[in-house]
């Protein structure tokens, strides 16, 4: 069942790359007492994700934070090492936190998984963006197709804050 506006975000944990190496963060640490924009991509280093989706949030990070967003986080069904390499490649720095959902557990808990087995990618996160206020969904923007970056784009989120 897909998460809806007004519902509490599910509990979960994510891999994050730190200066010391692989680390982790829980959903409670990510969302509690904060306004968070969580957006998901089907895969790190994939075309639309690398050319438009993540770069849009990096470019608009200051504007989003100017509208009260505490944290911008990108979720992908990749391992923490891939997410760390992608963060470096894209210059995410401290603007966007990249979260590894290696087994798609969080994407599935949200009900927003994507069957990409036809492309040899297995279960992935669909492309979406969620605005979370203190652990509760206040906005949910899902794309009709995995290649679309419209509803879940940084520009659309910014215009809806």
Q: In the prediction, which pLDDT does 54 show?
A: 95
Q: In the prediction, which pLDDT does 71 show?
A: 98
Closest CA relative to residue 99, chosen from 133, 63, 71, 122: 71
Element (H, E) at 14: strand 13-18
Quote the CA–CA distance of 66 and 121 in Å, as a whole number: 36
Over the stretch 83-142, which tens digit does the pLDDT of each residue have?
999 999 999 999 999 999 999 999 999 999 987 787 777 788 999 999 999 999 999 999
139 by Cβ neighbours in 10 Å (0-12 / 13-18 / 19+) ranks as middle
Q: In the prediction, which pLDDT does 34 show?
A: 98
Quote the CA–CA distance of 40 and 128 in Å, as a whole number: 5
- Does residue 148 register a pLDDT over 90? no
**Greatest Cα-to-Cα distance within the chain, rounded to the nearest angstrom:** 40
Q: In the prediction, which pLDDT does 146 show?
A: 76
Residues serving a catalytic function are 49
Over the stretch 1-34, which tens digit does the pLDDT of each residue have?
899 999 999 999 999 999 999 999 999 999 999 9
Quote the CA–CA distance of 28 and 32 in Å, as a whole number: 5
Q: In the prediction, which pLDDT does 48 show?
A: 80
Element (H, E) at 125: strand 123-125
Mean pLDDT computed over 50-73: 95
Q: In the prediction, which pLDDT does 89 show?
A: 95
Prediction pTM value: 0.94
29-63 as b/e: b if 16+ CB within 10 A: ebbeeebbbbbbbbbbebebbbebbbbbbbebbee
What are the structural domains of the chain?
13-160 (3.40.30.10)
CB atoms within 10 A of CB 136: 13
- The residue written with tokens 């203190």 in the block is 134
């Amino acid at each position: 069942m897909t998460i809806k506006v007004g519902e509490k975000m599910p509990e979960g944990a994510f891999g994050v790359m730190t200066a010391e190496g692989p680390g982790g963060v829980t959903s409670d640490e990510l969302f509690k007492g904060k306004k968070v924009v969580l957006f998901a991509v089907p895969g790190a280093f994939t075309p639309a994700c690398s050319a438009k989706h993540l770069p849009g949030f990096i470019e608009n990070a200051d504007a989003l934070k100017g509208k009260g967003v505490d944290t911008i986080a990108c979720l992908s069904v990749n391992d923490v090492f891939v997410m760390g390499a992608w963060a470096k490649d894209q210059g995410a720095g401290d603007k966007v936190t990249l979260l590894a959902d290696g087994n798609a557990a969080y994407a599935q808990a949200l009900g927003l998984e994507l069957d990409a087995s036809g492309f040899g990618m297995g279960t992935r996160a669909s492309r979406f963006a969620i605005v979370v206020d203190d652990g509760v969904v206040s906005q949910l923007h899902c794309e009709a197709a995995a290649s679309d970056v419209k509803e879940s784009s940084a520009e659309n989120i910014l215009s809806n804050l």
